[in-house]
Structure 1
Amino acid sequence: GGSSGGSGGGTRILSTRGSVIFEPRTNQLFVSDIPSKLEEIQAMIAKIDIPVRQVLIEARIVEANDKFGRSLGIKLGANDLRGQQGGIPGYSVGGGNYVTVGGNYSGIGSQTNQGVAANYNNTQFINLPANTSSDSFSGGTAATVALSLFSATANRFLNLELSALESDGKGKVVSSPRVITADQVKALIEQGEELPYQVATASGATSIAFRKANLKLEVTPQITPEGSVILSVDVNKDSRGTLTPQGYAINTKHVQTQVLVENGGTVVIGGIYTQDEGETVNKVPVLGDVPFLGNLFKNKTRTTSKTELLIFLTPKVVSERATVR
């Protein structure tokens, strides 16, 4: 359609003889005008009436122990993906540290600057993206999860690591929602429960209200001209807390950020820790309760567990061919 000129400063597309009718139900335009104007309007509509690109967002929300993040950084943060793609295996990660994945296994010792110990006489089966200083191996420090952006090639290793996480009892995948949304349109996934609590009214009486303790993921993707995706992320992981006279308390974990990710790559958002401490007393019956001397017949064990909330987001731009199908 068009806008008429005047004091508003708009530009009129139709001629004085033209008219336009919009049908919102079928999303159609009916234009009546002179032939030259119809050609202009047809060319303009062809430029702006294009399918909106869509993004498939795969999210994995993981609660793992604090060692899993460091292990993940060692295995994925410093893998030489160029060697797998036909490049030269082994490149500098930092300083003089080198990594090797593939290539000539007989030369792995020289590329990783490692010595061969008695317990590790076959270096082909050793995965050392960065060396440690134990077991007769000398080198630099281990990689960490500071590299929080993984390429699309590393995703297959990431899936294996998350599967092994639950198998080894080192953590659990809390949720794995998937959602598809249009470019620059917010997507929302919410799951949880509503807990009742009492509130005072203006008359002095009490009424029941509800507060949410749920898992909520809000993501707004923006596709760049280069094909990457800018993700505006807002994640809430709430859970039921202790019971108070006014109702249940809510334990909250909240992450909000914006990050640029390549198509098919993965961004890891973490750093929210929860620490639980406990104490166990083992003692000999009767003797362990004797004052002073009872300490000889009992022992105390303190346990500390530290978990981290990790959020893995993988955006994939849906091709127009897949959209049509």
Structure 2
Amino acid sequence: MMQTIKDAKILTNRGFISVDERTTSIIIRDVDQKHEDYEKIITALDNPTPQVSINARIVEVTDNISKELGIQWGAVVKPTPQTQIGGTLISEGLGEFTGKPLAVNLPAAVGAGAGGSLGIGYISANALRALDIQLSAAESTGQGKVISSPRIVTMDNQKAVIRQGKKIPYETISQEGTKTEFVDAALELIVVPHITPEGTILMKLEVKKNEADFSRTSGTSQVPTIDTNEVETQVLINDGDTLALGGIYKKNATTSENAVPGLGDIPILGWLFKKELDTDVTTEILVFITPRIVK
């Protein structure tokens, strides 16, 4: 504020301005004719910085359920390829879309695997209750689960970071011996909200999804490959509406044994009466972000 007053060039040669950091006060001494000018500037600048509450939900659902949630998918962002530890590849340039009813209703994602895409969708505040009911139903039937529901409050134009994941240990061998190191496998959301004069919220959004793949390693230390998806974008959304991020897939392979009761336990010949079943279950990670202006 002191610099703004100086830049306004209303301080006379006889004027004096200083800051008392202990009391966070500005001390101004000048001729009487300038007092009204100072009051106008201070009144305009001395306002509390608005805050934004960001509620996030990270949900894992089966592929078929994700298509039944009624999300209006309005944009699709291609993820970056996999990269080794320390690499950074970022997909940019999505632009903006407004949180109004959209003319395009795209699927949640193009498909699972490396060729999939990150979808960005929109849910109005009125439809949020219906989404809650659907997610609760998916949890009760085992077709989905809420991984976490973090909440954070940040000031206007200040960064908020939401992180969900774990550190995976791996061993490295050197002349000094064996050492355990860690690699991050996490979903990270970085949000910078800005409240517009119209009362909407412009969010600068950065999404990072890192997964360690120990089936592909590099070097003698067996450092795991990191599969990385990174997206940067800006989204204009109404206060209290919800942004949905989809297209982050996980594939879980399971092996089960199906045997004829009694006969499958016969020594030597039991294998004739049982078989192993390999099952691939694809689930999708959905992230819901709801910004609200703190009033």
Output the TM-score relative to the length of structure 2: 0.69
Bigger mean CA offset, 16-25 vs 210-219: 210-219
2:160 equivalent in structure 1? 187
1:18 lines up with 2:21 in the alignment? no
1:307 equivalent in structure 2? 283
1:30 lines up with 2:6 in the alignment? no
Change (3 A) 1:255 1:176: farther
- Shift in Å at residue 316 of structure 1? 0.7
Q: Distance in 2 between matches of 1:197 and 1:19?
A: 62
* 1:164 partner SS: helix
1:272 equivalent in structure 2? 248
Whether the aligned pair in 1 keeps the contact of 2:60 and 2:146 (CA below 8 Å) is: yes
Alignment partner of 1:217 out of 186, 189, 207:
189
Change (3 A) 1:239 1:172: farther
Whether the aligned pair in 2 keeps the contact of 1:61 and 1:174 (CA below 8 Å) is: yes
Alignment coverage as a number of residue pairs = 244
1:69 equivalent in structure 2? 66
1:205 equivalent in structure 2? 176
Q: Distance in 1 between matches of 2:61 and 2:228?
A: 14
* 2:69 partner SS: helix
Q: Distance in 1 between matches of 2:33 and 2:11?
A: 10
Please tell me the residue identity of whatever aligns with 1:171: G
1:235 lines up with 2:232 in the alignment? no
Bigger mean CA offset, 242-251 vs 263-272: 242-251
Q: Distance in 2 between matches of 1:3 and 1:262?
A: 32
Change (3 A) 1:55 1:287: same
Deviations 1:260-314 (A, max 9, x none): 211110111111222234555545546675xxxx6xx666645231111111001
Change (3 A) 1:301 1:157: same
- Shift in Å at residue 249 of structure 1? 3.5
Which structure carries more relative contact order (alpha carbon 8 Å, separation 6+)?
Answer: 2
Q: Distance in 2 between matches of 1:236 and 1:185?
A: 19
Q: How does 1:55-134 map to 2 (within 5 A)?
A: 55-73=52-70, 77=72
Whether the aligned pair in 2 keeps the contact of 1:238 and 1:250 (CA below 8 Å) is: no
Alignment partner of 1:155 out of 108, 128, 140:
128
Output the TM-score relative to the length of structure 1: 0.63
Change (3 A) 1:255 1:177: farther
Deviations 1:212-242 (A, max 9, x none): 3444332111112221112222234546654
Please tell me the residue identity of whatever aligns with 1:223: I
Whether the aligned pair in 1 keeps the contact of 2:183 and 2:212 (CA below 8 Å) is: no
2:147 equivalent in structure 1? 174
Whether the aligned pair in 1 keeps the contact of 2:173 and 2:221 (CA below 8 Å) is: no
Change (3 A) 1:251 1:183: same
Deviations 1:148-202 (A, max 9, x none): 211111111112222222111112111110001111100123455444555688x
Whether the aligned pair in 1 keeps the contact of 2:213 and 2:227 (CA below 8 Å) is: no
Change (3 A) 1:41 1:143: closer
Whether the aligned pair in 2 keeps the contact of 1:241 and 1:248 (CA below 8 Å) is: no
Q: Distance in 1 between matches of 2:290 and 2:166?
A: 27
Q: Distance in 2 between matches of 1:64 and 1:171?
A: 4
Change (3 A) 1:250 1:52: farther
Please tell me the residue identity of whatever aligns with 1:186: K
* 2:68 partner SS: helix
Q: Percent identity?
A: 36
Q: Distance in 2 between matches of 1:77 and 1:4?
A: 48
Whether the aligned pair in 1 keeps the contact of 2:120 and 2:243 (CA below 8 Å) is: no
Q: CA RMSD in A?
A: 3.6
Where structure 2 has 5 or more consecutive residues not aligned to the other structure, the ranges are 74-101, 109-118
Please tell me the residue identity of whatever aligns with 2:148: S
